Chain A
Amino acid sequence: MSSSIESLISQEYQHGFVTDIESDTLPAGLSEDVVRAISARKNEPPFMLDWRLKAYRRWLSMKEPHWPNVTYGPIDYQAVSYYSAPKTKKPLGSLDEVDPELLATYEKLGIPLTEQKVLSGVAVDAIFDSVSVGTTMRTELAKHGIIFCSLGEAIREHADLVEKYLGSVVPYSDNFFAALNSAVFSDGSFVYVPKGVRCPVELSTYFRINSADTGQFERTLIIADEGAYVSYLEGCTAPKRSTHQLHAAVVELVALRGATVKYSTVQNWYAGDKEGNGGIYNFVTKRGKAAENSKISWTQVETGSAITWKYPSVILQGDNAVGEFYSVAVVNNKQQADTGTKMIHIGRNTKSTIVSKGISAGEGNNSYRGRVQVLPKAEGARNYTQCDSMLVGNRCGAHTFPYIEVGNNSAIVEHEASTSKIGEDQIFYLKARGLSAEQAVSMIVSGFCKEVFKELPMEFALEAQALLGITLEGSVG
Chain B
Amino acid sequence: MSLLEITGLRANVGDKEILKGLDLTVDAGEIHAVMGPNGSGKSTLAQVLAGNPAYEVTGGTVRYGGKDLLEMQPEERAQSGMFLAFQYPVEIPGVSNAYFLRAAYNEMRKARGEDEVDPLEFADIMEQKLALVDMDPAMLQRSVNTGFSGGEKKRNEILQMAVLEPKLAILDETDSGLDIDALRIVADGVNALKRPDNATIVVTHYQRLLNYIVPDYVHVLANGRILKSGGKDLALELEEKGYDWLTGGSTAAVGAGAA
Residues of A within 8 A of B75 (CB): 431-432, 434-437
Interface string of B76-99 (1 = CB under 8 A from A): 011100011010011111110000
Q: Point out the residue from A424, A425, A437, A446 that lies within 8 Å of B95, measured CB to CB.
A: A446
Please, which residue of chain A has its CB at the minimum distance from the CB of B52? A428
Interface positions, chain A 428-447, Cβ under 8 Å from B, are 428-437, 439, 443-444, 446-447
Is there an interface contact between B111 and A425, defined as CB atoms closer than 8 Å?
no
Residues of B within 8 A of A100 (CB): none
Q: How many residues of B contact A (CB 8 A)?
A: 31
Nearest Cβ on chain B to A208's Cβ, whole angstroms: 32
Tell yes or no: A450 within 8 A of B by CB: yes
Is there an interface contact between B94 and A447, defined as CB atoms closer than 8 Å?
yes
Is there an interface contact between A432 and B74, defined as CB atoms closer than 8 Å?
yes
Is there an interface contact between A430 and B92, defined as CB atoms closer than 8 Å?
yes
Tell yes or no: A307 within 8 A of B by CB: no
* CB contact under 8 A between A431 and B100, given known A444-B92, A447-B93, A447-B95: no
Tell yes or no: B147 within 8 A of A by CB: no
Highest count of chain B CB atoms <10 Å: which of A432, A435, A436, A477: A432
Residues of A within 8 A of B91 (CB): 426
Tell yes or no: B230 within 8 A of A by CB: no
Please, which residue of chain A has its CB at the minimum distance from the CB of B80? A434
Residues of B within 8 A of A16 (CB): none
Interface string of B157-169 (1 = CB under 8 A from A): 0001000100000
Nearest Cβ on chain A to B16's Cβ, whole angstroms: 18
Please, which residue of chain A has its CB at the minimum distance from the CB of B103? A435
Is there an interface contact between B90 and A425, defined as CB atoms closer than 8 Å?
yes
Tell yes or no: A423 within 8 A of B by CB: yes
Nearest Cβ on chain A to B160's Cβ, whole angstroms: 7
The interface size bin for chain A is 20 to 34
**A contact face: mostly helix, strand, loop, or mixed:** helix
Interface string of B106-122 (1 = CB under 8 A from A): 01100100000000000
A436 to B94, CA, bound (A): 19
Please, which residue of chain B has its CB at the minimum distance from the CB of A357? B94
Residues of A within 8 A of B84 (CB): 432
A446 to B93, CA, bound (A): 9
Is there an interface contact between A434 and B90, defined as CB atoms closer than 8 Å?
no
Is there an interface contact between A449 and B94, defined as CB atoms closer than 8 Å?
yes
Is there an interface contact between A434 and B92, defined as CB atoms closer than 8 Å?
no
Residues of A within 8 A of B164 (CB): 433-434
Please, which residue of chain B has its CB at the minimum distance from the CB of A437? B75
Residues of A within 8 A of B89 (CB): 429
A469 to B160, CA, bound (A): 25
Q: Point out the residue from A433, A444, A477 that lies within 8 Å of B160, measured CB to CB.
A: A433
Please, which residue of chain A has its CB at the minimum distance from the CB of B108? A434
Nearest Cβ on chain A to B104's Cβ, whole angstroms: 4
* CB contact under 8 A between A429 and B86, given known A444-B95, A446-B94, A447-B92: yes
* CB contact under 8 A between A443 and B53, given known A426-B90, A426-B92, A429-B90: no
Residues of A within 8 A of B143 (CB): 447
Nearest Cβ on chain A to B9's Cβ, whole angstroms: 19
A444 to B143, CA, bound (A): 11
Tell yes or no: A448 within 8 A of B by CB: yes
Q: Point out the residue from A431, A439, A443, A477 that lies within 8 Å of B92, measured CB to CB.
A: A443
Q: Point out the residue from A424, A434, A437, A446 that lies within 8 Å of B104, measured CB to CB.
A: A434
Nearest Cβ on chain B to A430's Cβ, whole angstroms: 7
Tell yes or no: B73 within 8 A of A by CB: yes
Chain B residues within CB distance 8 Å of chain A? 50-54, 73-75, 77-79, 83-84, 86, 89-95, 100, 103-104, 107-108, 111, 143-144, 160, 164
23 A-B pairs within 8 Å (CB atoms) are namely: A424-B54, A429-B86, A430-B92, A431-B51, A431-B75, A432-B50, A432-B51, A432-B52, A432-B75, A432-B84, A433-B78, A433-B160, A434-B108, A434-B111, A434-B164, A436-B75, A439-B103, A443-B92, A444-B92, A447-B92, A447-B94, A448-B94, A451-B94
Extra 9 A-B pairs, beta carbons < 8 Å, given A430-B100, A432-B74, A477-B53:
A424-B54, A432-B77, A433-B160, A434-B79, A434-B107, A435-B107, A443-B103, A447-B92, A448-B94
Chain A residues within CB distance 8 Å of chain B? 423-426, 428-437, 439, 443-444, 446-451, 477
